[in-house]
Amino acid sequence: MLDIKQIRENPELVQQRLVTRGDKFDIQAILDLDKKQRELEATRSALQARGNEIAGLIPQKIKAGSDPKGAEIAALREEGKSVKETISELEPQEKEIKEKIQELVLALPNLPSESTPIGSNEDENVEIRRWGSEYIPQNQNIIPHWDIAEKLGILNVERAVKVAQSRFVNLIGAGAALERALIQFMLNTQIAAGYVEVIPPILVNTESLIATGQLPKFAEESFKCAADDLWLIPTAEVPITNLYRGEILAAEDLPIYHCAYTPCFRREAGSYGRDMRGLIRLHQFNKVELVKFVHPSTSFEELEKLVGNAEAILQALKLPYRVIELCTGDLGFGSAKTYDLEVWLPSSEKYREISSCSNFVDFQARRGDIRFKEAGKKGTQYVHTLNGSGLAIGRTMAAILENYQQPDGTIGIPEALQPYLGREAIGTKS
């Protein structure tokens, strides 16, 4: 959530940076309502002061000799009554305006950071680096991951549709084992890097989704339990960030690093061509998420480290990838700066997103009221929050199924995963 003070004091700058996102965001309605609310507040405060003054004057005047039933005291009492009535009329007006301001501010996305490249869409994203070109398969006849997985009997879609609907899959045998191995490998790697593991709820309340920015904007993309105020999480970012909602942390406890494996649920409305098949766009998928709570002075440095933590998984698995910095027009709703990691999928000869690492600065912390206090200093500050996939499990499996295809139709297992899986290939008896 943007700071209303920043909107009030620097409207031109806020409007200019919102425009770089490519959508039409008009903050004038917020400014008008804010002005009206502050005028009402000033009027109410003045009336309350006058009411308190009258309440003190009446006993003073009576003590000084005024007739308690005289005209002077009666006039003061009548004025006091009028003041109370006016205040009671102003309070609901002020409350209504505050709620409207809150509604409008919650609908505004974060401001891009000054270092985020300006652009209108994904075509203007900036490639930062590539890694692992030597691991790109030279075989020109790579079978799409869904076909090779079904051929090997480790993935079944038809029965998943019968049990649920389209965009769900069953992983079977070695497929299920590979998914489990990836989860354990990723968690172990991130725990070794300093992250503290959490197993959070995968059902969260509305307030939690508001805090991280999924609501109100992305309600239609989320699955809601109709009988309860509970939603299936789109990512572990939501429950992990909300661990500290409404709390004041000690500055010496920062930074806080958490990692979590969870199932994730997204409606993924729309048609995505080839992505309608396989493991790329599912309603339910598994992911290891990385979440950081950091001091504002270090958050962009922490973002670079976060990207490195996600890259470490791809490098250990020897999967070719590239790092892309998103331009302003392609930023997520709550992000100030984002790097995407895109893994090479040889069947389509494209790099595809496998992790998105973002610095939200104080955007989520304001929405969730997550602050910290430094010893010896007055007041509190909002923490900066960051998160990223470390990684999306299904997409990692898809990359392995394609990049590790062998001429005999088997799938080699990355060396780093072999201790977890207990085998060197899928499709052989060993």
pLDDT at residue 56 tops 80: yes
The question of whether 129 is a catalytic residue gets the answer no
**CATH code that applies to domain 4-106:** 1.10.287.40
**CATH code that applies to domain 122-426:** 3.30.930.10
pLDDT at residue 261 tops 90: yes
Taking alpha carbons only, the member of 425, 416, 424 closest to residue 192 is 416
- Mean per-residue pLDDT for 112-134? 97
pLDDT above 70 as % of the chain: 97
Q: Mind listing the pLDDT tens digit for each residue in 174-198?
A: 999 999 999 999 999 999 999 999 9
**Which amino acid does the sequence have at 212?**
T
Task: Given the residues 21, 266, 277, 371, select the one marked as catalytic.
Answer: 266
Task: Given the residues 281, 366, 367, 371, select the one marked as catalytic.
Answer: 281
Q: Mind listing the pLDDT tens digit for each residue in 369-386?
A: 999 999 999 999 999 999
Task: Given the residues 113, 335, 356, 358, select the one marked as catalytic.
Answer: 356
Q: What is the pTM of this model?
A: 0.93
The question of whether 266 is a catalytic residue gets the answer yes
Domain boundaries, the chain: 4-106, 122-426
> What is residue 430's predicted lDDT score, i.e. its pLDDT?
42
DSSP string, 198-222: ----SEE-HHHHHHHT-TTTTGGGS
Map tokens 């998105």 to a residue.
356
Task: Given the residues 72, 268, 353, 374, select the one marked as catalytic.
Answer: 353
Long-range contacts of 382-385 (CB under 8 A, 24+ apart): 382/296, 383/244, 383/249, 383/254, 383/293, 383/294, 383/295, 383/296, 384/293, 384/294, 384/295, 384/296, 384/299, 384/302, 384/359, 384/360, 385/241, 385/291, 385/292, 385/293, 385/294, 385/360
The question of whether 159 is a catalytic residue gets the answer no
Q: Do domains 4-106 and 122-426 have the same CATH topology?
A: no
- Mean per-residue pLDDT for 302-315? 98
pLDDT at residue 276 tops 90: no
Cis peptide before 414 (omega within 30 of 0): no
Taking alpha carbons only, the member of 93, 97, 287, 264 closest to residue 186 is 287
> What is residue 140's predicted lDDT score, i.e. its pLDDT?
79
Burial 110-144 (b: 16+ CB within 10 A, else e): bbbbeebbebeeeeebeeeeebbeebebeeeebbb
The question of whether 423 is a catalytic residue gets the answer no
The question of whether 44 is a catalytic residue gets the answer no
Task: Given the residues 167, 342, 395, 402, select the one marked as catalytic.
Answer: 395
